[in-house]
Structure 1
Amino acid sequence: MGDFIDLRGLFVNPNGGDPFAAGYIHLEQVGNDTVVQIDADGLNSGRYSYSPVSVLTLRGVQSSQITSANLFGFDPNLDANRSITGTENADTLTGGAGNNIIRGLGGDDIINGLAGNDTLEGGADNDTIEGGTGYDVIDGGDGNDILSDSAGGGAAFGGTDTLRGGGGDDIITVSRTFGMDKVIVDAGSGRDTVQVRGPQMTVDLGADNDTLRLYYYNSDSVTATLGTGRDTVLIDASYEGGGGSYGNIVGDIADFTPGDGGDVLSLRGLIRANPFWDGRNPFASGQIQLQQSGTDTVVTFDSDGAGTYSSGSQLLVLRNVQATQLTATNFDGYSPDGSAVPGVISSGTNNADTIVGGEGADTIHGLAGADIIVGDAGNDLLDGGAGDDNIDGGLGSDHILGGAGNDVLTDFQGGSDTIDGGDGNDTIALARLNYNGPEQVTVGGGAGDDTVRIKSTSAGTVSIDLGEGADTLFLEQIAYPMTTVNVVLGGGADRVVLTGDSPDNLTIADFKAGVGGDVIDISALVSSVAPGVGNVRLVQAAENVLVQVDADGSSGSQAFVTRALLQNTQAAQINMGNLAGFAPTVVSMADLATIRVTTPAIVTEGVGNSFTPLLTLRNVTTATTNVTVSFVGEASTATNGTDFAGANFSGTVTVSQSAAGDFVFALPMISYYADLAVEGAETIAFRVTASGQTFANGTDTTLVTVRLAERAQTGGSGDDQLSGTRFDDVLSGNDGNDTVFGSAGSDIVIGGSGRNALVYDDVWRQYFVNGASGSITVHKSDGVDTIAEVQDIGFKDGHYIIDSDSVGAQVTRLYDTVLQREPDAFGLDYWVERIQDKGATLEMVSASFLDGPEFRSATGTLTNPAFVDYLYQHALGRGADAGGSIFWTSQLDAGLSRSSMLLSFSEGAEHRTLTADLVGKGYFDTDDTYQAVALLYDSAVGRLPDTSGLTFWSEQVESGARTLSQVADEFAASGEFTNAVAGKDNGQLVDFMYQNTLDRGPDASGRAFWVSQLDAGLTRGALLLSFSQGAEHYGLKAADIIGGIKVVDDASGAAAVSPVRNDDLDDVSSLSSAAPASAFISENAAPTSHDVAQTMWLDSSHFADASMPAYVDTGHGF
């Protein structure tokens, strides 16, 4: 029990109640002493105003130690206003419920204002001050102080807290403020760190290099002046401080200094916490953007960039800053132009090293020793080398090599990673918990007994090769239905452990069945501890086995679910040991399937507006099944309620019919909408479950997907022009001669009636066209088009013709009639050109076929009846009927030419039907102008044309901007040609032309002729044109012309290989990119005719008769 102080006799007029609460008594802390003060009128201010009077000093007593027991029941804790003054030493000073004034003076003081609107002064030295509730004024004074105000005044007040750092390197923290709270922070001088969270914040960082930390997940409004020095504004993505409403920060920076050496806006924490970030520069992905607004720059954040999940929001406004002034140094190394952050190249030693990469694409070699390597962000190459290494890939698509040793390799932050354990007993762990879209992950265990753990909730493909050794694979939390896991177990007895969240799409390529083989451990999938009855079913589906698991076995109500597909495995060879002790039941797929769902594979916006899925129970008399339909959002790209309307369904289907047969039940109709948005092909996905029934996958549940194509475009009754979008389109020409312009995506093009054309914007060899009767597919780098009822597919360098009435079709039928084969490319091209460009008729070509040595030797001595029978057998594949034989024999006897009869058989309805598939494959007709320009390239510069140059010069001629002769002149004046013939006289020039164009030296008379032409004034361009367009040159280069112009890649100069066609083209030397543009013929030259004479070709007599080729193509068949 302490001492007593009786103050009851000092009051003049106490108004009842506790005198501390009424303000009559105060206890003031002065240093280590407590001073008792009396205020005669307390909190009342009437006619007379009294000041507090000190009546007693208690030495060495803290005011906080005095209680009501010492004061006859008067409670000092009810003191409304307390004044406390510390000493020059380290004091601990605590206020009360009132409005306190606490001065720490010297020493490293600890001050807590508690409740009330306090004034708290730290004074000199390194103080720690907490304001508590109420609206406080906190002044740290000199020294490295820690100032905080974490309570605020409450939602009903709306006052202002003021925190002043003063001199020194201070830490100032404001959090947990509410309602209308306002906070003013004046950091003062020194390297201060300010952390604020509140509704209305005003911050002045003052002098020196300071740090301002703002919290993104709050509804903060912060106005900041950075002051002098190089300051850092850091956006924190944590939920620091709690309370309040979690919105997005709204910041306003008054004096941000841009450029090198300027202030820093650090977004690293925000970006790294973003589950959509793929490790790239966030400016490149659109997740951080700069927008110029007048004289200010607005910094915005969009978590998924160009995606649709987030629309983005404003982070900060940088006042009086031009976005173009901001550089990578202002953003932690992220350049606003989106360029990649430079990577780190580092090598360790033969000892145990610790190496950490940066934001860029790093290359780190640990070498020998037990190294610790962290890739951090970026697409890194991390090579541990020898030793037991610990490597973490971090963000980005990393390539991790463990090397020799027992390594621990991890990557938990996304990316399309490749991990190779190498030799040793390695531990490999990956987790995919982000939303970056499909990722491709490859894991190789290598030699040794490895342990691999995979966790993923993201879409994509995981490919695992466990390699040699007795390996263990854990597949955990792979809950995303679109995740595909492909496993190669490799050598050794391997074990695959499945959990309740194992993937729906698991394929194992080389499962070894039988004693000592591989094991699939399903223990975690069943409800009983020990292996029960009816838990595992093996379904033999062709050469593969479906491993199906029923969690509660034959005694429970759950159904079988497919957990893995074992490729090229026989179910009968799998024993209990292969299934961790579970005894399987073996069935065939044919015995299981009792039910199916039927839907259209594709529906199109604007074509119809609904479809009805049909549920068919197969070969039943009586059956009862509970059917549920649920739409699967994660497997759908179309949005239920926006793109389509489908309701979940649950009901019972009962079948009762006298004879066994299929029973069809209509599921609820699904409507789809023709909106105006250009979205591309989307997918409608729904899951159907039918209890007690089995779908083709061996379970009672199936996932059904229907493609929803973009709004179809349909032409009218006239000649229409249709163009697709960058997405998958359906384009229908309807009536008339329509033209469709090819676009990106996988399109369906239906020409309709009339003669229709489809036009692409590149050369033929950049595509792959697969022709079949009635259907054509065009494989492009960005999709595959399906084409029907189109007769002409145009490319830059020619046309692919699928017209049964075309010249090529007629020549094809002649080949079949006469030679019983389809035409070779050279022959078809030759005869089509004879008819289209040389004025020959089809009957003239028919006569030429008859006059061919092969046909003439077979039919030349036949009588007319024998010739008729020969044609029936070879053209129609049958003998002549009596009436037909008599008719055609009489026609020949009356003077009908055999060539006319041959043409009649070839073009007759019966033969056209027999050759419909052959003709339906179509043929490519090379454009004459593009052919001429390609020949000019070879003759002038001895190489294939590049695509851009070929297109430019050819279009110059076809548009009428230049003649072919003018293009030849420009080729002759090009740097490539003039450099090659520099210093040559006319004779040497002719030698060069023979060698460069015809791959041979000149004959004497030919050389003399061309030298005389040059001496007489023939230009080099005219010489070049004549040599390039000759028949001998065409014969040499026909393989590069017929069937599409062979080109080189514009960038590399190497023979172009289409990403979809994969032509086997010869490499050519690339051109130096350092040479001036005028030295090349890439975008400046092309030929169709000679200005002086008709197109000529060369032989030893200078010119051959233009009516016949000067070379023999034995492939023509005659």
Structure 2
Amino acid sequence: MQYDQPYSASELKGSLANNPTLLSSTTAAAISTLLALDTAESVSVASWDGVTAPVSPEGTAPALVSATIAGAAGENVAVAIPAELSTAQAFIFESEANLVVSFDAPSASTFAAFAVEGDVAAAAVTDSTPDLIVTSGDGSDTLIFTGEQNVYVDGREGNDTVITAGGNDTIYGGAGNNVIISGAGDDQIFLAGTSDVVNAGDGYDVVTLQGSRDAYDFVAGNSFNVDGTGLQTASITNAEFLAFDNNESIALATSEDQAAALRLYQGILGRDADAAGAKIWAGAADQGVATGSIAQAFLNSFEFKADASEAFVTSLYQNLLERTAPEATDVDYWSNVLASGASRADVAATFALSPDAIAADQTNSEYVEGLYQSALGRASDAEGLNSWVTALFNGASRGDIAQSIVNSTEAATKVNADFIDSLYSNALDRPADAEGKAFWVDSLAQGVTQAEVAVAIVGSPEAVDTIDNVIVIHGQV
């Protein structure tokens, strides 16, 4: 690479992407984005050996520094960043030695001015978009960052120590036994070492471990920390969220109120929390929002309503249109219609009057039987079947019959029973027992809200023992 002239941005992007032994694809992409290599014509790149003056295009401020530092494996080498490189946005270090490097970088707003001159909005950086990217060498390096900038660090090989300050940082620990200490800000920390120690500091911090959650055993300590053993060993302090492969997670609650709110993800939605949502609802609990109010927000969510409607929509396809395996896109469409506010009765009536239903050419008896199965979850009784078939014979439309059956008290009871079944399955990991199910269905019929029932079941001792994707950690005692 020639360093006395600006480097072609497209060629630099290709060079970064085609050097997997030096840069991961994630880091190469991050550098490409930070330096706007897709749109820039050229980039000023400096070469530096850590001792002599950097070589860079005359009259330009280097954006990227390629630093090859001499030193044998196990040798400690202190590296001082010279003034002419202080505004560089990316450093790529290559060395066998143990590097000790400090970065006293400008604040995030200053970096934004470099990147987007004159853009006032860019001065208030609130996301994790990096302002400075640093990749270390193969030794056991120590990288220290001060200032409020968002830093992105790729530790690569060696037993590294990474210390950051006030930004929203992204830190890849790399192989080895690493120590990561991040400051204030919402940090994202990725662990790939054998045995790592993390103190994530203030802010809402997410630590990602390799593999499945089930591959680890976790023990909560008394200083806002959790220790995990499995594919990796990690001692993690002051983190709020652990992420794993396949969207698995563990939300780390620092109070019982937080835990009660975060367990609603599993109890009501039947899934692990996502980091963004967990941050919002843990914060709401800290602000004194009642768990019942948070539960109601979950129940009002588009996600819950769509998921709760899926079985009903599938049954309409099967029973009214005689499609045993409806297309997922079709089921999603009508589930979303219901989640957006349409009533089950209206959707059932629409199915009943659709060209597909007409083409199915069901008899009146078959049609009524299908409605019983979809809306009531049972076969028709002779009296009911005869009554509805007679109504059809006397001029009632199939849409009218669908409205009547789906709006019936029995259909409402079926909806409540399905809701209880889902809470037992999600929160207790078992089918509802007959006595418990009857109690809660009756409670709903008597006016107890779904939110109140959800809080009671998801907050029960059995659910607390069963739900393993929320861990309560406490401060010093």
Comparing both structures, which one devotes a greater share of its residues to helix?
2
Q: Do these two structures clear the TM 0.5 threshold for a shared fold by scoring above it? A: no
Q: TM-score, normalised by structure 2?
A: 0.40
Q: TM-score, normalised by structure 1?
A: 0.20
More relative contact order in 1 or in 2 (CA 8 Å, sep 6+)?
A: 2
